[in-house]
Structure 1
Amino acid sequence: MFQILKARQAIDFMRWSKFAFVFSGLMIAASLFTISTKWFNWGLDFTGGTLIEVSFEQPANLPVLREALAKDGFADATVQNFGSAHDVMVRMRPREGTKGEVVGNQVLESLKKGSGDQVELKRIEFVGPNVGGELAEAGGLAILISLLCILMYVSMRFEWRLSAGAVLALAHDVTITLGVFSFLQIEIDLTIVAALLTVVGYSLNDTIVVFDRIRENFRKIRNSEPWEVMNHSITQTLSRTLITSGTTLFVVIALFTQGGANIHGFALALLLGITVGTYSSIYVASALALKLGLTREHLMPVQIEKEGADQDTMMP
């Protein structure tokens, strides 16, 4: 690949644009279907309730713990391992008329009786339903405002065909990322919202770099077809894209594998978003602008006639 780049030969990316559109369409359709049927596994930040993390001396028997909690009136509790077989996380919906501290103590006693083992309390959190609703509204509003600001920015900077490609590429990246989270039922909390906003910014930055080179080459290369200019522009920025995305993915993979359960969802969202965003900057943003009929004339600067030019041409 790098030999091709050194020889300044353009890779024919647009040759595969039809297959890419079909692939992206199937991925978006599958994501929307999954979201509409399974919805999201909202975390405690959005639903409110009680979260308790405990540690046992012996590996925890989750079915026994669930049965013990059900006997004590906590049948709706979600019990799962957290990090290791000795660590357990219990999540419950908010209970009306009962303080969070009281619920936490009752759950802790129930775990001790059910397991017959020493239980160490590592963390306990309480989030009210009103606070969870406010956080959900604020998170959704943050994503919406960021997308609107991006829409305004790209509309002013680029021709509308390029702007449409950039915005649809962002929607493409976020939809597929959310679809994976819905399919796997990974808990969505505020860290996932932060990761989605990071993905939006990263994907837009990559797309703008490609678009700047496309606009520059459309004005320089005059005897080539639009798809040839696209291929030349993407090839010229490919090394930068691979280096930037590759080094970023090294860090994200390290976070995903070694960062622990607390940031597992955050790292997964970044891993998905950066991978899909790199792909979409070529086969969604750029190829879509070409399908919308982008030509050299659309990107040429408007020439303003100087005052008195007509009189000068009429003079002998």
Structure 2
Amino acid sequence: MSTNNQNNNQNPNSGTPNSSTPAYIEGGRRRRRGPRRDGRGNNTTLSPSDNIEQAEIENTELATSEVYEDEAALAEGGIKALGSKRIIPFMKLEKPMAIFSILMIIISIGALFINGLNLGLDFTGGVSADVKYENPVEQTEVIQSLEKAGFNDAVVQYLGGTTELLVRLPPQSDNVEGLNESLGSALDLPNNSAQISNVNIIGSQVGGEVYLSSMIAIITALGMMMLYVAVRFQFKLAVGALLALVHDAIVTLGFFALFQFPFDLTVLAAILALIGYSLNDTIVVFDRIRENFRRVRDASARQIVDLSLTETLRRTIMTISTVLVVVLAMLFLGGDGLFWFSVAFFIGLIAGTYSSTYISSSIPLAMGLSRDDFVVKIKPEFQEEEVTFNDPKSFED
């Protein structure tokens, strides 16, 4: 029985060859199922059944190779990923997000013009005093004692410990000597005397100069950031980065003007730190955009931006998560001295992450960002000239 089966497998006239083996025996010789790759040999002519089977094998091998190529390209972030749903289409929400940003900026600017900023003593002037107590004291106890003595709107901050405090008050009409006496009696607590070591009176003119210097510092920081991005990357990206930073600063200032939060030097420091953080996140996206424009072929600019934002999404989530933990810790555990700093940085952190994804990327696209902006072009003086040699003998008759 086994001998007959073997003879049937070996006989080409008995039917289709055994599909479990790559070749079968015919007359003591191994026969190929298909032609050689170079088309040479005696086995180039096949029966119709062999042609169908050869086509199925080739299609299977081609599909397998395409799957391997797709998986390898997806692992490397190559062009094959553009045709897959793995890429998050961020730019599909470009227009709704642009409308949302314009509304936020209009509301913020309106709040700044109508309400104005609730400037603190650093900008309006006032009195600051360094106070030291014999025993640890709570800030609320000091503020209540000052309010009983007629000193309203006082700001109390710790200086390194719970016994040393910085007390800031609005402008007072008394002179320095009378102010020391009235403050000394107002700051004394039951069974806990206070000692004033230093009293400074800040005039309104000095506060105005500080406010003007602060605005100049913000404008200078924005201008230098734009110059850096223009030199490091491209001018269109620099415009997008500048508008994103301006958006973050205006939205943060608008929140403080809308809800009349106190604006002092600590809030200004938060805005300057926010500008640096937002630009750092934007530069990471810009670097990936430049790399993908040079690496990926046959893809539109919008697809390149979506690919770059998708590749940097994990890094963005990790960065904002770690920074958010620190900001929330300062907000709830940092005390009054870091409270408004944390509030400003929290607002700017949300606005900065949003602007790095949409504003800084959509503005260059609207300006016509393309692959030509990142391809290094050869200067004319370095291009080779074509020289033709004329044989003198060719001019002879």
> Is the 1:49–1:127 Cα contact (8 Å) retained in structure 2?
yes
After superposition, give the CA deviation of every residue in 1:65-118 in whole Å (9 maximum; x if it has no partner): 86863xxxx6xx3268989xxxxx98643245x324523543565688xxx977
Q: Does 1:296 align with 2:371?
A: yes
- Following superposition, the deviation at residue 58 of structure 1 comes to 9.8
Q: Assess if the C-alpha contact under 8 Å between 2:281 and 2:356 holds in 1.
A: yes
Q: Where do 5+ consecutive residues of structure 1 fail to align?
A: 84-88
Aligned in 2, Cα 1:228/1:81: closer, same or farther, shift over 3 Å?
same
Give the match for residue 34 of structure 1.
111
2:65 alignment partner in structure 1: none
Deviation at 1:265, TM superposition (A): 1.0
Provide closer, same or farther for how the CA distance between residues 155 and 60 of structure 1 changes in structure 2, counting only shifts above 3 A.
closer
Which of the numbers 144, 149, 158 marks the counterpart of 2:233? 158
> C-alpha distance in 1, partners of 2:257/2:354?
21
**Superposition pairs for residues 146-295 of structure 1, below 5 Å?**
146-295=221-370
Q: Does 1:21 align with 2:95?
A: no
CA contact (8 A) 1:46 1:135 kept: yes
Distance 1:293 1:308, change over 3 A: closer
Whether 1:106 and 2:189 are equivalent positions in the alignment is no
- Evaluate the alpha carbon distance shift between residue 187 and residue 122 of structure 1 in structure 2; reply closer, same or farther with a 3 A threshold: farther
The answer as to whether partners of 1:50 and 1:126 remain within 8 angstroms in 2 is: yes
Quote the residue 2:202 is aligned against.
128
Q: CA deviation at 1:209?
A: 1.0
Q: How far, CA to CA, are the matches of 2:308 and 2:290 in structure 1?
A: 9
Work out the CA distance in 2 between the residues paired with 1:78 and 1:224.
Answer: 60
More helix by share: 1
1:47 maps to amino acid: T
Asked if 2 retains the 8 angstrom alpha-carbon contact of 1:44 and 1:127, the reply is no
Alpha-carbon shift at residue 23 of structure 1 (Å) = 0.9
Tell me which amino acid in the other structure corresponds to 2:275: V
Could you tell me whether the CA contact under 8 Å between 2:154 and 2:170 is conserved in 1?
Answer: no
Shift in alpha-carbon separation, 1:215–1:263, aligned structure 2, 3 A: same
Deviates most, 149-158 or 206-215: 149-158
* Structure 2 gap segments, 5+ residues each: 1-73, 159-165, 391-397
Percent identical residues:
36
Paired letter, 2:240: G
How far apart are 1:120 and its partner, in Å? 5.9
2:161 corresponds to: none
Aligned to 1:311, the other structure's residue is in SS state coil
Residues 47 and 290 of structure 1: is their aligned pair in 2 closer, same or farther, counting only changes over 3 Å?
A: same
Q: Secondary structure of 1:126's partner?
A: strand
* Equivalent position amino acid for 1:184 in 2: F
| Cα contact 1:48–1:126 (8 A) shared by 2 | no
Over 3 Å counting, the alpha-carbon distance change for 1:135 and 1:225 in structure 2 is same
CA-atom RMSD in angstroms: 3.4
Pairs within 5 Å for 1:80-91: none
Give the TM-score taking structure 1 as reference length. Answer: 0.80
Query: 1:11 maps to which residue?
Result: 88
CA distance in 2, matches of 1:143, 1:215: 28
Structure 1 residues 42 and 105, CA gap change in structure 2 (3 angstroms): farther
How many residues are treated as equivalent by the alignment?
296
Residues in 2 aligned to 1:254 and 1:190: alpha-carbon distance in whole angstroms? 20
Moved over 4 A (4+): 5-8, 51-62, 64-68, 79-83, 89-92, 107-112, 116-125, 305-308
Q: Residue 309 of structure 1: SS of its match in structure 2?
A: coil
Larger Rg over CA atoms? 2
Quick one: structure 1 residues 250 and 111, their matched pair in 2 at CA, closer, same or farther if it must change by over 3 Å? closer
Contact 1:230 1:286 in 2 (8 A): yes
Instruction: Quickly say closer, same or farther: Cα 1:169–1:308, change in 2 above 3 A.
Output: closer
Tell me whether 50-59 or 276-285 shows the greater mean CA deviation: 50-59
